[in-house]
Amino acid sequence: LLPIYFQLKEKLAKLGRKKWIDEEMSRLTEKASTKEDLSQYFQKVKGAWRLTSEKLSALQLICEWREQEARDKNKPRGRIIDDKTIVEVVSNATQSREGLSEIKGMHPYLIERYSEKLLDLIKEGLARPTKEHPAPLSEPLPKHMSSTIKKLKQIVNMKAELLDIAPEILARKKDIEFLVRSMISEENIRLPDKIAEGWRFDVIGSALLVSSSD
């Protein structure tokens, strides 16, 4: 991998993009040295925003356990238990093995393997004091903002095409959604940290801010 890294670095330097790889390597090194917080994985679960705070607490514990289990077994997290099934288990506040068996995605082998752990985590999550509940999750963006999202994505796509790189290198869907949420709920429009500074701000962040302010 090291020879490939040096080849890419040389190529980017010729394109005037040495700053890019220097910043990316610094960011990746910092990320690698910081212990990942598995307790935040519940935020990625589709439909989780609908749950009450106490059920969100149970979801948080289950997702943290599932992530660790997936890593220990070297499997995708969905192969442990998929998101949809977890949300249904938590939504029903299932507290018995029989209750788990009534949930569509809880196949017999999952019940045999994980029922005791799931029930313990649900019980623990629901029993947490309110002050320990995670903060409510944001609702999906309103439909009337879809044209704004589309416009911002077009700006990213056009810039990526000019630079001959994948749009995701400049800004991902979640980055654009972060920006749009700030347009709705905050006095000051904000970019996510990743594109609020450095080469990404120069290349795409500033253009997105200008477009968002129109």
Cα distance between residue 25 and residue 183, in whole Å: 31
Nearest 5°: the CA angle 21, 26, 27 is 100
Mean pLDDT to the nearest integer, 130-137: 94
Range in 16-30, 98-112, 157-171 the model is least confident about: 16-30
- For residues 115 and 24, the model is more confident at 115
Domains and CATH numbers, the chain: 2-33 (no CATH), 38-132 (1.10.150.80), 143-213 (1.10.150.80)
Stated pTM of the model: 0.78
Q: Is the dihedral of CA 66, 135, 27, 178 positive or negative?
A: positive
User: What mean pLDDT value characterizes the chain?
Assistant: 91
* Rounded percentage of the chain residues whose pLDDT exceeds 70: 96
Confidence of residue 149 (pLDDT cuts 50, 70, 90): very high
- For residues 78 and 18, the model is more confident at 78
- For residues 19 and 179, the model is more confident at 179
Cα distance between residue 141 and residue 188, in whole Å: 18
